[in-house]
Amino acid sequence: MPSEKPPSTVMNGPGIARYPNIFSALKVGGAICRNRVKYAACSVSNFNTRDGSITDREYARMEVIARTGAGMITNQGAYPDSEGAGKAYYRQLSIADDQYIPGFRKIADMLHRGGAIAIQQILHAGRYGGIDLDHCVQPSEVPQTLRHFRPPRQMSRDDIRRCVQDHCQASRRAMEAGFDGVEITAFMGYLLANFLSPFTNRRTDEYGGSLENRGRFMVELLDAIREAIGKDRLLIIRLNGEELMDERGGNSPPECIEFMKMAEQAGADCISIVVGWHESTRGALGRDVHDDQWLPLAENASRAVKIPVAFGPRFCDPVKAEQALARGAFGLWEVCRPFLADPELLHKVARDRLEEIRPCVGGLLCLSRMFRNLPYICAVNPRLGHEVEPEYELRPARMRKKVLVIGGGPGGLECAFIAAQRGHSVVLCEKSERLGGQLLPASREIGGGRIFVDLARYYETMLKKFNVEVRLGTEVTPQLCAQIAPDVSVVATGSEIEHFPIPGIHRNHVVIAHDILEEGAPCGDRVVVLGGERIGLVAAEYLASRGKQVTLIELGKRLGEDVIATFKWRHTAWVRELQIQALLNTRAKEVTEEGVVVEEEAGSERLVPADTVILAIPRKARQQLLTDLEFVCDELYAIGDAVKPRSMHNAIREGYLIGIRI
């Protein structure tokens, strides 16, 4: 195991003294972790081949992970069985054969060069596995609640023994590849969690029934793996601190603690705490979860066991992590998605430059992509997953240019600071008096929307750092552009909501959604929101949470068509909790003084009373400057909603790509 930090990964700076617990060493089993940060295997990247082999794209990504500075790094989960019953994702890594050892050795070497303890996670998906098969395996034939998972097949005793051997052989391969230990998955509804839970374990033999019996498979597996890897290698297990499966008869938090005690007795060196199952009806990781909501789970676990507890679900703040470590709430700060958003996070903490950390916005785009067997990406880090591609590499500009960025939304902000970071001279003009664009109305989202203000503040910090000239309250015209005389102009003017053509749409009590969310325009007690896409949902929920009586009118058959799947359910729940009336397949025909006349699916008409009518559709790209500036500057580009109204991550990605292209 690594004992010294290679020179390239040695951290220094004022943050080392300011956050002494984060940067203190910790003994885990027989190893010394150089700091209290564990990089979590939080997502399957889907960068690899269908047979589970590692690709150059994955190696390039792992080089970035190896440089994060984390004292312990867990490689993403690999399935252990040759049949593929444990395989959850089409391009999940396999560790089911010796042929894979050289690829894993290359990753272990990368992590060691970075000074980290290298851990390989073994992930048998159980109820959520068998993606290439016509079935999944689990302790009992409990029907799936989510249709896309495979029909269940109950495991026999022989199947259980064979599964134990598969895990032992997988662990042996990880050791031969040079890893310092393995991490076993017993969380999120994967195989071991299926045995632990009374929801999915209805067996009547020695593997079912009592808590002790439900934990038997876990204990036998840990015992066997310890025998296979030896006493000097690390054995870590990920367990639920809270399943969020009460309505289905899952384990309670006290029962989860008992399984942690059993794992400790079976020889585990560290317990990693996770929250929720894929089938949970409550969220565990999104921005709607308060950043220290799950911290008591770690505190309870740390009191119950003597081995280190690793914790990190939605726990992103280094200041709070330092405080929690100081009082012994947990032993290792386990970080994943914040590292996806900003791989330099820990280095910035060491330099005491927390304002330069790009925040994870908790929209779970990474998970949304992974669940569709697509390579994961990040809403705020366009480089994620493209590390192997030279066209995504940020290099100094060959020729310094004067760049005019028009619009201070997420796309324009990203483009401006990336271009400036490369050495260009950048002027950013924003028509309003604030930077942020669509981030500002988005920040009114009732569950954690303030993170978008944090993102805007991050961009302001980076603009100052790289000397971008910011002109607020400045509308760009061809005359102003000619006066600035840029070599390159980037139109990032975003989109606007139009008054669509129905009678009465220009009445005084009709308000644009942005005016309500950004400027606090007056609003009556009875509100009708026209449009059930994201901006309409945010406006409706924001007003309903303040006591307004809100009705949503949507022409389509679903709400939130432009919301990613991993957050759409949250809006659905808010609409229900806030008692917002949603009229689907309904067309607005006229706005009157009394409200909105609508035509419902069957063709009948009725009046929906309203004191205020809010327009949330249609969104139209602001593109006039593309015509106006065509013969005013040398190079002209459009990004974000100025191309087509879409999501924030599209704007940031396009801003980045133009910023590194100029």
- β pairing state of 425-430 and 309-311: unpaired
pLDDT one-digit tens code per residue, 93-108 = 999 999 999 999 999 9
Which residues, including other chains, have CB under 8 Å from residue 532's CB and lie 6 or more apart? Answer: 552, 553, 554, 556, 558, 559, 560, 561, 582, 584, 616
pLDDT one-digit tens code per residue, 599-646 = 998 899 999 999 999 999 999 999 999 999 999 999 999 999 999 999
Q: How many C-beta atoms surround the C-beta of residue 545 within 10 A?
A: 16
Whether the full predicted model's pTM is greater than 0.75, yes or no, is yes
Q: Which of 34-48, 156-170, 253-267 has the lowest mean pLDDT?
A: 34-48
pLDDT of residue 520 exceeding 60, the answer is yes
Region 518-538: mean pLDDT is 94
pLDDT one-digit tens code per residue, 197-252 = 999 999 999 999 999 999 999 999 999 999 999 999 999 999 999 999 999 999 99
pLDDT at site 9: 58
d(CA 634, CA 493): 19
The pair of structure tokens assigned to 383 is: 């480089």
Phi and psi torsions of 467, nearest 5°: 60, 40
d(CA 121, CA 182): 6
DSSP codes joined into one string, 201-212:
----STTSSSHH
pLDDT of residue 392 exceeding 90, the answer is yes
Cα three-residue angle 275-364-358, rounded to 5 degrees: 105
pLDDT of residue 10 exceeding 80, the answer is no
pLDDT of residue 1 exceeding 60, the answer is no
pLDDT of residue 6 exceeding 80, the answer is no
Report all structural domains of the chain as residue ranges with CATH numbers, in order of start: 7-370 (3.20.20.70), 397-495+622-661 (3.40.50.720), 510-617 (3.50.50.60)
Q: Indicate if 190 belongs to the active site.
A: yes
Q: How confident is the model at residue 287 (pLDDT cuts 50, 70, 90)?
A: very high
Which residues, including other chains, have CB under 8 Å from residue 217's CB and lie 6 or more apart? Answer: 139, 160, 164, 192, 195, 207
Residue that has been written with the tokens 């089938």 in this structure: 279
In contact, 261 and 272? CB cutoff 8 Å: no
pLDDT one-digit tens code per residue, 300-328 = 999 999 999 999 999 999 999 999 999 99
pLDDT one-digit tens code per residue, 491-505 = 999 999 998 899 999
The pair of structure tokens assigned to 662 is: 């100029």
In percent, the amount of the chain with pLDDT more than 70 equals 98
Q: Is 611 exposed, middle or buried (0-12, 13-18, 19+ CB in 10 A)?
A: middle
**One-letter identity of residue 337:** R
**One-letter identity of residue 490:** V
d(CA 318, CA 346): 9
pLDDT at site 521: 84
pLDDT of residue 7 exceeding 50, the answer is no
d(CA 609, CA 423): 56
Q: Which of 2-6, 20-24, 290-294, 455-459 has the lowest mean pLDDT?
A: 2-6
pLDDT of residue 468 exceeding 80, the answer is yes
Q: What is the SS3 assignment for 94?
A: strand
The pair of structure tokens assigned to 563 is: 């919301």
Region 434-458: mean pLDDT is 96
In percent, the amount of the chain with pLDDT more than 90 equals 91
Which residues, including other chains, have CB under 8 Å from residue 74's CB and lie 6 or more apart? Answer: 38, 39, 40, 41, 119, 120, 121, 183, 236
CA distance readout (Å), 240 to 29, 75, 247, 284, 526: 21, 19, 16, 11, 43
The pair of structure tokens assigned to 51 is: 């047979």
Q: Which of 79, 190, 376, 458 is catalytic?
A: 190
pLDDT of residue 452 exceeding 50, the answer is yes
List, in sequence order, every beta strand (DSSP E) within 34-111.
Answer: 37-39, 72-79, 93-94
Mean pLDDT for the chain overall: 95
Residue that has been written with the tokens 């050791």 in this structure: 175
The β-bridge partners of 79 are: 94
The pair of structure tokens assigned to 56 is: 């150059």
